[in-house]
Amino acid sequence: MSIFIAPLTYFMRGFAVCFAFLQNIGKSSRWKLVQFIAFFLCLPIFKAHNFLFKIIYALGSRRLRLLSEKQRLLGVDNMALQGQLNLIDSGCGLDTVQGLNNVLRRLEAAKASSNFSYSNHL
């Protein structure tokens, strides 16, 4: 999917630069004929940029739908895995979050004591 999105994005940026260049020429020119030509060249470039944007947006939304479908299918597996983890936690008698918080507190205490002992030796 991104094999199509990347080149289209590159062309879309090119159209945006071209549009800005022609718009700048149209605004800064003193001659009405040059402003007129720049204006009429800006219209098809803007339409092409807008068309590419719509294609890229559609491809991106399709990609998002595919990813959300995969996530939905994986959600069933994740629920089964969560159930197995809960069984393991209840078998060990430990809550995962509580156990991780205990480990974090011990690490922070060890870090604080090592920093304190290091500062005493200076």
Full-prediction pTM beyond 0.85? no
User: Residue 12 domain-assigned?
Assistant: yes
What is the pLDDT averaged over residues 93-109? 66
Task: Give the ranges where 1-122 is alpha helix by DSSP (H).
Answer: 2-28, 32-92, 96-120
User: Residue 115 domain-assigned?
Assistant: no
pLDDT per position as a tens digit, 21-45: 999 988 888 888 988 899 899 999 9
As a residue count, the chain comes to 122
Q: Do residues 87 and 32 lie in contact, with contact meaning Cβ atoms separated by under 8 Å?
A: no
Q: Do residues 18 and 48 lie in contact, with contact meaning Cβ atoms separated by under 8 Å?
A: no
User: Residue 30 domain-assigned?
Assistant: yes
Structure tokens at 29: 């020119």
User: Residue 119 domain-assigned?
Assistant: no
User: Residue 45 domain-assigned?
Assistant: yes
Which of 28-32, 93-97, 99-103, 108-112 shows the lowest mean pLDDT across its residues? 93-97
pLDDT of residue 21: 93
User: Residue 43 domain-assigned?
Assistant: yes
**What's the CA dihedral at 75, 76, 78, 79 to 10 degrees?**
120
Question: How far is the C-alpha of 23 from the C-alpha of 28, rounded, in Å?
Answer: 9
Q: What domain range is 32 assigned to?
A: 2-92
User: Residue 120 domain-assigned?
Assistant: no
93: alpha, beta or left? (left if phi > 0; alpha if psi -120 to 50)? left
- Return the closest-CA partner of residue 23 out of 5, 41, 10: 41
Total domain count, the chain: 1
